[in-house]
Amino acid sequence: MPTLGGLLKKRRTKDSQTLSKELQAGSTTNAHTPTSPITAEDTHHHNHEHHHHHNPHPSGNSANSANSANSATNITKQQSNQSTASKTTDSQTASMQSPALQPSSSAHSNSGHQHHGNAASIHNIIHPSQQNQPQASRAERSTKGKYMLDDFTMQRTLGTGSFGRVHLVQSKHNHRFYAIKVLKKAQVVKMKQIEHTNDERRMLNRVRHPFLITLWGTWQDSRNLYMVMDFVEGGELFSLLRKSQRFPNPVAKFYAAEVTLALEYLHSLDIIYRDLKPENLLLDRHGHLKITDFGFAKEVPDITWTLCGTPDYLAPEVVASKGYNKSVDWWSLGILIFEMLCGFTPFWDQGSPVKIYQNILQGRVKFPPYLLPDAVDLLSRLITSDLTKRLGNLHGGSEDIKSHPWFAEVTWDRLLRKEIDAPYVPPIRGGQGDASQYENYQEETEPYGLTGDDPHGHLFPGF
């Protein structure tokens, strides 16, 4: 059984059972939580003529009801002309639509200071000597997807993880907002994450999919690695789930279906994801999912051994330090669906990883009585240690999951084109760059953009 080594990540905040007890103590919640943004009281119908594009529907800030969510999996066509997967060729898109190189009206006339009250001060902390930056790295600008600190106005932290910190930023060139993940090289080296970090960049570079985050480019300075991604405005699915306690069946189904398509795509490229959990699933402004955090993604055509992931979500073959394959992602999909439907993970045990591992190896899942038979059936076929029975790992591959009765109403091709209404539209009022859906974090005090001694730079040649 593994010890809690550096390769295992923690859950974002307090676990769901503690939270759920607190919620129950504080307010009289029952199975249908009135506080849930998902289970809104009104049952208004979708107006399929409405495009939420730049001007969110007035009611868009409350969740569509469970009723409409019910139809979310089989409803009629809607807003199909939004930014579905761009048809551009794979690796070239970075330079074509790069934040730095996209045309804009006079580049520096409107750099983000005035938009966020606190931007200037944060900016000063983390970006103190912009003026003195050597211009040498300009030479790199001809390289695809190469940026530098001076291309962006750094704003607040959107999230922190075991290895990184993600900032909201604004491009000084096109004034659009992006998210930049910053990793301290010394920390990456200390935690033995060099290969994983290089893989994170390489894997993200290879993928283009409507439900996966886009990486625009990277760079490094003497201390840090930087990855420029799209800013996904709607916040973490984690936050929505904790607020809702648990999702109604159709809501969980919608998110699970989008994740299934993303995993199917990754596996078709022989990429294993290995860190599925609600903290890594972000909602875009229309409520569709984007999977972020490719920190453990890796090209694995057959089998691998590395122990990594997040305890609650680890498959038993990973816990047992056996060789494992892509089907660990399908196990995690089972854990994710369980957590969405129940509000807690099946092997959770008072926050103790060792107990969690024992439970995973024992493999006994208690299904709460409110779960529908179809859901229980799918979950038992995903959360099974028997690899000859685990759905996704059989001859039918991911098709076996997509054709399971629990997903019966899902029209997969429409879902992929984002023609299916999301069950919940995040309340983004502030327009572009509104980070209100993200929690606040203490800001980094060490300045970015330092030059000088760089003992680790050579370990990250792709950045």
Ligand X SMILES: Nc1ncnc2c1ncn2[C@@H]1O[C@H](COP(=O)(O)OP(=O)(O)OP(=O)(O)O)[C@@H](O)[C@H]1O
Known catalytic residue at 275: yes
437 binding partner (options Mg ion, ligand X, none; Cβ < 5 to 8 Å by kind): none
Compute the distance between CA of residue 253 and CA of residue 404 in angstroms, rounded to an integer: 12
Q: Considering only the stretches 162-170, 201-209, 264-272, 379-387, report the one whose residues sit in contact with ligand X under the rule CB under 6 A.
A: 162-170
Q: Which is nearer to ligand X, 101 or 237 (CB)?
A: 237
Q: Residue positions in the annotated binding site for ATP?
A: 181
280 contacts Mg ion (rule: CB under 5 A): yes
User: Least separation, in Å, of the C-beta of 213 and ligand X?
Assistant: 5
Kindly write out the interface string for residues 273-312 of this chain, putting x where it contacts ligand X by CB under 6 A and - elsewhere: --x---xx-x---------xx-x-----------------
Q: Which is nearer to ligand X, 238 or 407 (CB)?
A: 238
User: Least separation, in Å, of the C-beta of 65 and ligand X?
Assistant: 27
158 contacts ligand X (rule: CB under 6 A): yes
User: Least separation, in Å, of the C-beta of 210 and ligand X?
Assistant: 14
314 contacts ligand X (rule: CB under 6 A): no
229 contacts ligand X (rule: CB under 6 A): yes
179 contacts ligand X (rule: CB under 6 A): yes
CA dihedral 446, 451, 452, 457 (to 10 degrees): 90
Partners of residue 444 on adjacent β-strands: none
Compute the distance between CA of residue 329 and CA of residue 313 in angstroms, rounded to an integer: 9
326 binding partner (options ligand X, Mg ion, none; Cβ < 5 to 8 Å by kind): none
203 binding partner (options Mg ion, ligand X, none; Cβ < 5 to 8 Å by kind): none
Q: Considering only the stretches 141-149, 222-230, 288-296, 310-318, report the one whose residues sit in contact with Mg ion under the rule CB under 5 A.
A: 288-296
Q: Which is nearer to ligand X, 13 or 35 (CB)?
A: 13
User: Least separation, in Å, of the C-beta of 388 and ligand X?
Assistant: 31
CA dihedral 52, 56, 58, 63 (to 10 degrees): 80
Q: Considering only the stretches 24-32, 87-95, 133-141, 157-165, report the one whose residues sit in contact with ligand X under the rule CB under 6 A.
A: 157-165
User: Least separation, in Å, of the C-beta of 166 and Mg ion?
Assistant: 9
Angle at 229 (CA atoms; ends 430, 254), nearest 5 degrees: 70
Q: Residue positions in the annotated binding site?
A: 181
User: Least separation, in Å, of the C-beta of 193 and ligand X?
Assistant: 9
Q: Which is nearer to ligand X, 232 or 415 (CB)?
A: 232
163 binding partner (options Mg ion, ligand X, none; Cβ < 5 to 8 Å by kind): ligand X
162 contacts ligand X (rule: CB under 6 A): yes
230 contacts ligand X (rule: CB under 6 A): yes
Q: Which is nearer to ligand X, 48 or 429 (CB)?
A: 429
Q: Considering only the stretches 44-52, 117-125, 154-162, 266-274, report the one whose residues sit in contact with Mg ion under the rule CB under 5 A.
A: 154-162
Q: Which is nearer to ligand X, 239 or 249 (CB)?
A: 239
Compute the distance between CA of residue 442 and CA of residue 398 in angstroms, rounded to an integer: 41
73 contacts ligand X (rule: CB under 6 A): no
232 contacts ligand X (rule: CB under 6 A): yes
Of the candidates 199, 230, 275, 284, the residue annotated as catalytic is: 275
Compute the distance between CA of residue 297 and CA of residue 314 in angstroms, rounded to an integer: 14
Task: Indicate the residue type of 113.
Answer: H
* Structural tokens at position 98: 């790069």
162 binding partner (options ligand X, Mg ion, none; Cβ < 5 to 8 Å by kind): ligand X
Rg (CA), the chain: 22
Residues 235-264 touching ligand X, rule: CB under 6 A, are 236
Task: Indicate the residue type of 458.
Answer: H
Contacts of residue 113, Cβ cutoff 8 Å, sequence gap at least 6: 119, 120, 123, 153
Q: Considering only the stretches 262-270, 285-293, 296-304, 413-421, report the one whose residues sit in contact with Mg ion under the rule CB under 5 A.
A: 285-293
Using CB under 5 A, pick the residue from 161, 248, 316, 423 that binds Mg ion.
Answer: 161
CA dihedral 70, 73, 79, 83 (to 10 degrees): 130
Binding site for Mg ion (CB under 5 A): 161, 280, 293
Please list the active-site residues: 275
| Interacting residues with ligand X (CB under 6 A) | 9, 158-159, 161-164, 166, 179, 181, 213, 229-232, 236, 275, 279-280, 282, 292-293, 295
